[in-house]
Structure 1
Amino acid sequence: MTQATNLLKVVVIGGEGIGPEVTDQSVRVLNWFIDRRHAPLQLHDAPYGAEAYREFGQILPAQTMEAVRNADAILFGATGGPDLDVLPKPVRHQGSLLRIREGLTLFANLRPIIAHAALFASAPLKAEVLEGVDFVIVRELVGAIYFGQPRGIETLPDGQRRGVNTQVYTTSEIRRVVRVAFELARTRKHRLCSVDKANVMESGVLWREEVDKLHQAEFSDVDLSHMYVDNCAMQIVRKPNQSDVIVTDNLFGDILSDCAAMAAGSLGMLPSAAIVPRDAAGRSKALYEPVHGSAPDIAGKNIANPLASIQSVAMMLRMTLGRPEDADLLERAVRHTLEAGHRTADIAGRGDTPISTFAMGDAVLASLDQIAA
């Protein structure tokens, strides 16, 4: 029997909106691996969001931040929505998801984009455009305009108001995330596209120069290209199968990955991992979450797609928990579920009958049982 001291700690934070609903299905999947595959995991719920504020006076209570610091992995649902919007701005700022990312130095965000053939008929893009789509966006996550100073809204002497945000990067911030992208490219097709706006932004000039220097010094075996972000957005919907690994800054990565959801069929299909460098054992502590937001308009209706969250669990199994065979098994189960015709509303096509969030969880668990039998 596995000793408690050897169990890997997974902190579960449902968050706001549809976050708890989709995360509940991922917890069911994790418990399947604990029960059926003897995964040495220990799951802990941690308070976060408006409910935590009502109970503890903080969106991100100290005990939750302590739990995530001590965890091997964090499974996060979603943040944002009307319950948080009514809270004072300083409270929201201190408890935001950005603070967790910054506090843990989760500087690299991996967002895989895969087009499942079973969804071609209902996808927004043409089937011939989606054939062979399998790429990863690596987004810098704790720098640039989301964190740069100065920032704020001020009133000018003439009465006008001015909003200020600062786009700023240092050499080390650029190099550490680009190194992750180069190393990832080495495990795939040895192709990396760096995306910036160097034609109008000094931070983009620095970004491109540092990418080139790192390429020449350490990764000359990888085929490197550069692209402006506006062109990249067009290429992702025009010919998404030309991409392998894309690396870009915080703001551009946020926008491009949502754009790339059209190649996967829905935001409800996109998992992600926010990571730090691997340790001596080859594992990487990370926060795993679906790319989609809290979707307050459908929260509580049991209709959200949990597959992005469930596929985030597959990333967790592979990257942090060191269980690549289990990750492969879960990814096969998701494909099997889609091939069997199970659809939530966001990925349903003409003639499909959408199923609930919970029913999609049931379907994935049934696929796991069938494949593992």
Structure 2
Amino acid sequence: MTAKILVLPGDGIGPEITAQAEKVLEVLRAKYKFDVEWTHGLLGGAAYDATGEPLPAATLEAARKSDAVLLAAVGGPKYDTAPRDKRPERGLLGIRAGMGLYANLRPAILYPELAAASSLKPELVADLDVLIVRELTGGIYFGQPRGIEVRDGVRVGINTEVYSEPEIERIARTAFDAAQLRGKRLCSVDKANVLESSELWRETVIRVGRDYPDVQLTHQYVDNAAMQLVRAPKQFDVIVTSNLFGDILSDIAAQLTGSIGMLPSASLNERGQGLYEPIHGSAPDIAGKGVANPLAMILSLAMLLRYSLKRGDLADKVQKAVRHVLADGLRTADIARSGEKTVGTLEMGEAVVGRL
């Protein structure tokens, strides 16, 4: 069947990097006979400008009907004075909720050619490839009761960490499935020594793990996992953890790579649909200058191929093309060392296409 992708260029540098990802899709369709079609939609500031809403109903309907959504970025300072419910970020939150996206997959990949960009020693991070699977819709960010109240004349802030067994099982299966596509090693991160929610988390992950005998399951407390990520990050393959812990650990892992301009992400629902986007944001300060790095967008497309469309063969080709381009010495400004020659968005995108 024909794969259907909704493409959302969004704001800032979004249209520029989206154009390069679409060139990759065109090559996959023409050279590798990939049966795919894609349409465009509005989200964020671009949608607000055109329709008065950051998430038009037509965009959400198209997203639900697609096999996957490829999003560039939303937001920009011109919308800071817009009503809060009309700001670009509300569109992003709305499409995540409307698609029921519960699992965030964020890889931290460091190609050896860029090892010097990391704050850690190159030998610790060269060839780093870690995937963090974060639960998105539960935990302390959404638990009830919450709020600020007065107790005995003192203001008290309250947040509640809540996880049900089905919520934990759902994210655990997503992580085990992801591990099967990679190195077949999964580390579950919790705080089971002090938190009852983590006790249930660990018990549930162990139970689910019995259905995946080919995946090696280990456990770490979150404080130790944070330390291990900066001590010996290559010990990890896939990490699965809660909303709060995943929020923190994924940012630590991102910093290991030295440049967020290279990092893709995915958010998945129970149907296997996903919203795929680079993590770098809309970068309005360089929008329209032709200097943005399109590689995170292209690598987000590779994740889309792997996880939603089940075309790992094509995902591998895209990732290898990116690696070859880096090995050829091409650098956009964000990943170049002092004195290195840099290329722009168009040249970098065309180099990847050429390698494909």
TM surpasses 0.5: yes
Quote the Cα distance in structure 2 between the aligned partners of 1:157 and 1:222: 48
Residue 199 (structure 1) shift? 4.3
Q: Percent identity?
A: 52
> How far did residue 329 of structure 1 move?
1.7
**Partner of residue 293, structure 1:** 281
AA aligned to 1:39 is F
Aligned partner letter, 1:168: V
What is the aligned counterpart of 1:214 among 172, 196, 208? Answer: 208
Q: Which runs of 5+ in 2 are unaligned?
A: none
Counterpart position of 2:197: 203
Q: Which amino acid aligns with 1:345?
A: A
Q: Using the TM superposition, name which of 352-361 and 339-348 deviates more.
A: 352-361
Aligned to 1:281: none
Distance 1:94 1:191, change over 3 A: closer
Question: What residue in structure 2 maps to residue 357 of structure 1?
Answer: 345
- Asked if 1:121 is matched to 2:116, the reply is yes
Q: Could you tell me the TM-score, scaled by structure 1's length?
A: 0.85
Alignment-derived partner of residue 137 in structure 2: 142
Give the CA deviation at 1:159.
11
Change (3 A) 1:301 1:167: farther
Give 1:338 deviation, angstroms. Answer: 0.2
| TM-score normalised by structure 2 residue count | 0.88
Partner-residue secondary structure (3-state), 2:277:
strand
Note the aligned Cα RMSD (angstroms).
2.8
1:185 aligns with 2:194: no
Question: d(CA) in 1 for partners of 2:18 and 2:141?
Answer: 26
Aligned length: 356
Contact 1:268–1:305 at 8 Å: present in 2 too?
Answer: yes
TM alignment of 1:279-358, pairs within 5 A: 284-358=272-346
1:173 maps to which residue? 167
Letter in 1 for 2:281: G
Contact between 1:237 and 1:262, CA under 8 Å: does it hold in 2? no
Amino acid at match of 1:288: Y
| Equivalent pair of 2:117/2:257 in contact (CA under 8 Å) | no
Moved more, 137-146 or 337-346: 137-146
Q: Tell me the CA shift for residue 158 of structure 1.
A: 11
Kept in 2, the 8 Å contact 1:150–1:165? The answer is yes
Between 358-367 and 89-98, the greater mean CA deviation after superposition: 89-98
Q: Is the 8 A contact 2:117 2:259 kept in 1?
A: no
Which one of 218, 221, 225 corresponds to residue 228 of structure 1? 221
For 2:251 and 2:131, the matched residues in 1 are separated by 13
- Once the two structures are TM-superposed, the CA of residue 277 in structure 1 deviates from its matched residue by 4.4
Whether the 8 Å CA contact 2:75–2:88 is kept in 1: the answer is no
Q: Distance in 2 between matches of 1:298 and 1:248?
A: 34
How far is 1:241 from its partner?
A: 0.7
Match of 2:36 in 1: 41
